[in-house]
């Protein structure tokens, strides 16, 4: 029998006074899947995730994580999920090993402390105070604490904001390892590439609404990914959307210097989807 989804969200809505932060969002995440909620600042990503973590109560709609309503969850449920919040809040005076060991004692079936520190690439810093680490290294401590209890579902809220490209790549490898262990992951990010690198499926959210939901390679639908051929000749600038770009190129007379064939990326699809939504500053 196929396992029930790890996460089921149905018309989930959160209002703060007159502002609707999350507006009727529905999606499911299968067991073992990595799902990205992708959207600009103020889109409603964190609010959605915090409702799934049981930290905020929905105004309407329902959420279920591992078959449980997070708003009514108990300790047993909490020990089956892992949370990496947006901000690091670790006691800076403790060493990496002390913090991880402290968290390990909370969980019934915690991972080995040193193995976990190694998994996040901090073995050589295990004896250092968390406060002395770089931002990227502190984020790794957050992930260590998120996975120490062997969570079945891991929530990662904008895990690489502020990382340099090298630290981001190393972090992606770490998350791929966690996913390979069978952990279901819900990632929020405003980095397109992060979703492309890590997620099986993604939802694009803006203004609290889910605008698209699909496998990362298919999001926006086939039409949105149709190749575009562009070139300039005596007749001016041409742009043709076609499923047969090679045939179009063959039919072009001469050798236009600016000839190009582009396949719209997730970024192109994303930008066209969110183009019609108000940025947060404008809406405020």
User: Which residues here bind ligand ADP, judged by CB under 6 A?
Assistant: 16, 19, 21, 39, 41-47, 280
Q: How far is the CB of 205 from ligand ADP (least distance, A)?
A: 7
What would the two tokens of residue 276 be? 């019609």
As a whole number of angstroms, the distance between CA 111 and CA 178 comes to 12
* Cα distances (angstroms) measured from residue 198 to each of 46, 138, 177, 261: 18, 21, 11, 27
| 194, 167 contact by CB (below 8 A) | no
Q: How far is the CB of 48 from ligand ADP (least distance, A)?
A: 7
* Cα distances (angstroms) measured from residue 159 to each of 18, 45, 88, 128, 212: 30, 13, 10, 22, 22
- Of 32, 6, 41, give the one whose Cα is nearest residue 191: 41
Give the nearer residue to ligand ADP in terms of CB position, either 267 or 280. 280
Give the nearer residue to ligand ADP in terms of CB position, either 133 or 266. 266
Q: How far is the CB of 175 from ligand ADP (least distance, A)?
A: 19
Give the nearer residue to ligand ADP in terms of CB position, either 185 or 248. 185
Say how far residue 85 (Cα) sits from the centre of its chain.
12
Give the nearer residue to ligand ADP in terms of CB position, either 247 or 271. 271
Give the nearer residue to ligand ADP in terms of CB position, either 175 or 274. 274
As a whole number of angstroms, the distance between CA 126 and CA 133 comes to 10
Q: How far is the CB of 43 from ligand ADP (least distance, A)?
A: 4
As a whole number of angstroms, the distance between CA 223 and CA 211 comes to 16
């Amino acid at each position: 029998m196929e396992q029930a989804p790890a996460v089921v969200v149905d018309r989930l809505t959160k209002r703060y006074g007159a502002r609707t932060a999350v507006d009727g969002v529905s999606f499911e995440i299968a067991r073992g899947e990595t799902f990205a909620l992708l959207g600009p600042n103020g889109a409603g990503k964190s609010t959605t995730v915090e409702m799934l973590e049981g930290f905020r109560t929905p105004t309407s709609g329902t959420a279920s994580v591992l078959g449980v309503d997070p708003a009514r969850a108990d300790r047993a449920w909490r020990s089956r999920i892992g949370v990496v919040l947006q901000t690091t809040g670790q006691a800076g005076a403790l060493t990496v090993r002390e913090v991880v060991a402290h968290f390990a004692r909370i969980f019934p079936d915690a991972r080995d402390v040193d193995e976990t520190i190694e998994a996040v690439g901090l073995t050589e810093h295990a004896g250092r105070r968390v406060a002395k680490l770089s931002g990227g290294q502190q984020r790794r401590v957050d992930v260590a604490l998120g996975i120490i209890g062997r969570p079945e579902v891991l929530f990662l809220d904008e895990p690489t904001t502020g990382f340099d490209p090298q630290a981001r790549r190393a972090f992606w490898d770490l998350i791929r390892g966690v996913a390979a262990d069978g952990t279901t992951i819900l990632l929020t990010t405003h980095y397109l590439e992060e979703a492309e690198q890590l997620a099986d499926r993604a939802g694009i959210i803006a203004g609290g609404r889910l605008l698209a939901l699909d496998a990362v390679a298919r999001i926006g639908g086939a039409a949105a990914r149709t190749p575009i051929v562009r070139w300039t000749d005596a007749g001016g600038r041409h742009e043709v959307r076609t499923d047969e770009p090679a045939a179009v190129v063959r039919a072009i007379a001469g050798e236009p210097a600016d000839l190009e064939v582009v396949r719209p990326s997730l970024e192109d699809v994303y930008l066209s989807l969110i183009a019609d939504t108000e940025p947060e500053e404008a809406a405020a």
